[in-house]
Amino acid sequence: WPGSGGSRGGIAMDLFGDLRRMNKRQLYYQVLNFAMIVSSALMIWKGLIVVTGSESPIVVVLSGSMEPAFHRGDLLFLTNFHDDPIRAGEIVVFKVEGRDIPIVHRVIKVHEKGNGNIKFLTKGDNNEVDDRGLYKEGQNWLEKKDVVGRARGFLPYVGMVTIIMNDYPKFKYALLAVMGAYVLLKRES
C-alpha cells in the first residue's frame, strides 16, 4: 500500500482519505452496491430454504464424530422433505432442545408405530456409543420435528473458513472490514 508507511494506521488513513475524496454521489452508489450484494445473498439463502425444505440448507461439520464419512470442515447440502420417511443408515442433521448447534450423525435405529409416528436413534460413525447422552434430559429417541435436514451432498473442507472465523473472531472482523472497504471503495472502470 503506497503511502502507508507499512503501518496499520497508514492503511486506515488511506481508506478514510479515499472516502473523503469520493463525492456524495459516488459514496451513495457504493453503499447501494454493498446493500445489493447483502440483499442478494439473503435472497439466495431464502430461496435455498424454500427449494430444499430445510431451515438450514447448508451446514459445516464442526467435529470429527462422523469420520471417515465426513471430516471437520466439510460443507454439507441438506434437504428436509417431510413426506420422505427417515431410514436407518441416513445421515441427518438434528437439533436438540437446549443446544444451539445442530449435530450431524447417522440414524442407526428406526421405530415406526402403526399410527405413522416415527422415532429414531442416532450415532456418530466415529463415536463408541449412541447419542442418547446428547439428547435432552429423559429423551431416548428423536422425532421428525428434531430434524433440520438430511445430507444429500458435500464439499470437502470448504467450511474450514467458517471454523477459522469462529475460532478467531478478530480474523472474522478484519476479513469483514476488508471486504466492506473493498466494496465501498471499488470504483467502476
**Which domain, by its residues, includes 75?**
58-156
Q: Which of 54, 65, 74, 146 is catalytic?
A: 65
- Asked whether residue 21 is domain-assigned, the answer is yes
**Residues for the chain: how many in total?**
189
Task: State the catalytic residue, choosing from 39, 83, 100, 131.
Answer: 131
Decide: 104 and 76 in contact? Cβ < 8 Å: yes
Q: Is the dihedral of CA 117, 123, 128, 131 positive or negative?
A: negative
Are the C-beta atoms of 124 and 71 separated by less than 8 Å?
Answer: no
pLDDT digits (tens, 9 = 90+) for 90-114: 999 999 988 889 999 999 999 988 7
Q: Are residues 111 and 127 in the same domain?
A: yes
Enter the C-alpha cell of residue 187: 470504483
27 and 85 part of one domain: no
The pTM of the full predicted model, rounded to 2 decimals, is: 0.73
Reported as a single tens digit per residue, the pLDDT across 62-101 is 999 999 999 999 999 999 998 888 999 999 999 998 888 9
Residue 105 falls in the annotated catalytic set: yes
Q: Residue 2: inside a domain, yes or no? A: no
Q: Does residue 62 sit in the same domain as residue 146?
A: yes
Same domain (yes/no): 168, 98: no
Catalytic residue among 54, 74, 105, 146: 105
Residue 98 lies in a domain: yes
For residue 63, which of 171, 146, 168, 159 has the smallest C-alpha distance? 159
Known catalytic membership, residue 146: no
Active site residue 131: yes
What is the count of structural domains for the chain? 3
Query: Could you tell me if 24 and 71 lie in one domain?
Result: no
- Asked if residue 48 is part of any domain, the answer here is yes
Q: Tell me how crowded residue 73 is: count the other CB atoms within 10 A of its CB.
A: 19
Q: How far apart are CA 186 and CA 189, in angstroms?
A: 9
Regarding whether 170 and 151 lie in a shared domain, the answer is no
- Asked if residue 77 and residue 126 are part of one domain, the reply reads yes
Q: What gap in Å lies between CA 43 and CA 108, rounded to an integer?
A: 36
